[in-house]
Amino acid sequence: MAAPGSLGVYNKVVFAALGVLMVGSLVYTCVTDGSPFRLELLRSLSMEEDWMSVTGWYEFWQCCNFLCVLPHRLLVLY
């Protein structure tokens, strides 16, 4: 059995406090500005004209990341 002052209890308290803070900020946003999940806010993100460009750059970044990390992983494993 863990001691009352152990790290596990501390972690549970910290994560519970972070959860309360996150819910509190969501409630504050809903009260002051309305729902952050409004359709007009989400539509502006999905109707972006250059979404293909952004997707292409993201895929390029992922490929570069893979090619940079692969030699390191091979050296570590073998």
pLDDT in tens, 62-77: 888 888 888 888 888 8
Residue 59 lies in domain: 49-78
Number of domains in the chain: 2
36 and 53, same domain (yes or no): no
pTM across the whole model? 0.44
39 and 53 fall within a common domain: no
Same domain, 2 and 35: yes
d(CA 25, CA 31): 10
State whether 42 and 21 are in the same domain.
yes
Give residue 23's pLDDT band: very low, low, confident or very high (50, 70, 90). Answer: very high
The torsion region of residue 52 among left (phi > 0), alpha (psi -120 to 50) and beta comes to alpha
41 and 3: one domain?
yes
Do residue 43 and residue 53 come from a single domain? no
